[in-house]
Amino acid sequence: MIYLLLGFVMGVFFAHGTVAQAGSSHSLKFGPSGLGNGGTNPIDIPPNGGQIEYTYVSDGGVETNIGLVPGILVGGRMERGSWYMSLGGGLLVDAIGVGFGVYNGFGYVTGSGPGWHWNFEYKQSIAPDLEGGGFITPSAARVGIIWK
Amino acid sequence: MVKNNLKTKKIIEALIFGALTLGWIWALPLSAAGLSVGLIAVEEGGDQFRPGATAVLRPWDGAFLDLSLWGREYGKVVERSGLLAAGGEAQVKGILYIRFGGSILAESTRIKEAKTNPDSLTDSEKSDFSETSYAPGFMVGSSLKILNSGPIQVEAQWNSHVYPAGVAGGLFLAHGRRQTFTILGGIDL
């Protein structure tokens, strides 16, 4: 739980004040997940449930990520041109276990202004494994569309 | 033919490492440089961490060259891995920085055969006892510059090095990764 709080505090700190988030956005991304059992498999056609993630970013730069892997995550997003970085915490899941931890995302959005754009993102995360001890480190590399 | 292929492979390996070494030397005399060394915990996709060592050279503000080394031995098997990454970093907020760049992973696995004299083996036979591979990719990460005033620098990094898996990596995003947690201490050069 301390990791969840730490991640949330980090995310809020990160988002507060200097976040250059240009309006709210919705994105739907697809791509394979790193489940803690070696390299990732290619994405399925159509993608399976563990390869889909929805993200909502508020006007204030607070993002909410919903997906099976890495998990349910809340954090802050900072944009720098077409690039962004996010930092926060939440419930993490991989093939080894489940835990509350922190995540760190890196993304790129094509184009600018309102409308549909392509979105590429990589997320890394870590949490203590609540089931078996040790750590879980789910990750994901995804491509999708973002609506600003 | 096999012997010639192995020689060609060794020449290519020598050229790669030569180019990387020249890159380091080229970067050294530039102004605003810094050099840090530290410890890393490396995760190789299996949720397990291994210890290693790392060095980070900053040839100028906003650029870096990372070299990380780790390995292990179990029984007759010796594994050695190295990462070389180069790229840029930018301040996000306060002591928090974003890092991004290119990355090369080199991995070597060797089987120790104490009773066999390596000099008595042909190159083909030697290849049965060792293998070295390289993977190009990209890296992203974040850095907390805990102490960044004066000549002394202390920072913590969290990086992911991502290596697309051939055509499947390009089209279907399949990849391997090396995730590193790093503690560094260094000085301005």
Q: Give whole-number Cα distances, B38 to A37, B55, B140, B149, B154, in Å.
A: 28, 6, 19, 18, 10
Amino acid A7: pLDDT: 46
More confident call, B5 vs A57: A57
A20: CB partners within 8 A, 6+ apart: A61, A78, A79, A80
pLDDT tens digits, one per residue of B151-180: 899 999 999 999 998 777 777 888 999 999
What percentage of chain A exceeds 90 in pLDDT? 66
Q: Residue A16 — very low, low, confident or very high, per pLDDT cuts 50/70/90?
A: very low
This model's pTM is above 0.90: no
Residues of chain B neighbouring A85 (CB-CB closer than 8 A)? 92, 98, 142
The minimum CA-CA distance between A4 and chain B, rounded to whole Å, is 17
Residues 34-93 of A with CB under 8 A from B: 34, 36-43, 78, 80, 83, 85, 87
Residues of chain B neighbouring A122 (CB-CB closer than 8 A)? 140, 160, 162
Distance CA(A6)–CA(B15), nearest Å, equals: 46
Distance CA(B45)–CA(A137), nearest Å, equals: 8
pLDDT tens digits, one per residue of B107-142: 999 888 755 666 777 777 666 678 899 999 999 999
More confident call, A50 vs B119: A50
Place of tokens 């697809």: A30
Residues of chain B neighbouring A134 (CB-CB closer than 8 A)? 47-48
